[in-house]
Amino acid sequence: AQSVTQLDSHVSVSEGTPVLLRCNYSSSYSPSLFWYVQHPNKGLQLLLKYTSAATLVKGINGFEAEFKKSETSFHLTKPSAHMSDAAEYFCVVSDPNAGKSTFGDGTTLTVKP
């Protein structure tokens, strides 16, 4: 069984300040973890993924995430927010024994000028 909890449904930051989107997961095996971004009325775009290689994963648009097994966390960060980062972000855990991916409920990121 697997599950994902995104701890904040909404995060608001000012442009140029750091972003932290929190994600905790539960899994009975070594998971693969992903972050996707969804802009309004658009599809999902992969930001980054963790697949048991380096625990610090760098993605597109300056985002990165760190896999912490002891804390069962995979938080998404960015040093400096940009207005174009405003979107919905989904943390995803994938079952290695099947094709099913479990999505978190999403975090809406608002970036204030």
Partner 1 sequence: NAGVMQNPRHLVRRRGQEARLRCSPMKGHSHVYWYRQLPEEGLKFMVYLQKENIIDESGMPKERFSAEFPKEGPSILRIQQVVRGDSAAYFCASSPATLSQETQYFGPGTRLLVL
Answer for the pair 35, 91: CB distance below 8 angstroms, yes or no: yes
Q: Under 8 Å CB-to-CB from 105, ≥6 apart: which residues?
A: 6, 9
What is the dihedral sign for C-alpha 27, 29, 57, 39? negative
- For the bound state, the minimum distance from the C-beta of residue 69 to partner 1, rounded and expressed in Å, comes to 16
What span, in angstroms and rounded, lies between the C-alpha atoms of 108 and 91?
Answer: 12
Nearer to partner 1, 42 or 112 (CB): 42
- For the bound state, the minimum distance from the C-beta of residue 16 to partner 1, rounded and expressed in Å, comes to 28
Answer for the pair 14, 110: CB distance below 8 angstroms, yes or no: no
Binding status of residue 96 toward partner 1 by CB under 8 A: yes
Segment interacting with partner 1, rule: CB under 8 A, options 12-20, 58-66, 75-83, 101-109: 101-109
Query: Which 11-70 positions form the footprint of partner 1 (CB under 8 A)?
Result: 31-32, 34, 36, 41-46, 49, 51-52
What span, in angstroms and rounded, lies between the C-alpha atoms of 55 and 84?
Answer: 27
- For the bound state, the minimum distance from the C-beta of residue 32 to partner 1, rounded and expressed in Å, comes to 4
- For the bound state, the minimum distance from the C-beta of residue 86 to partner 1, rounded and expressed in Å, comes to 16
Q: Which residues bind partner 1 (CB under 8 A)?
A: 31-32, 34, 36, 41-46, 49, 51-52, 90, 94-96, 98-106
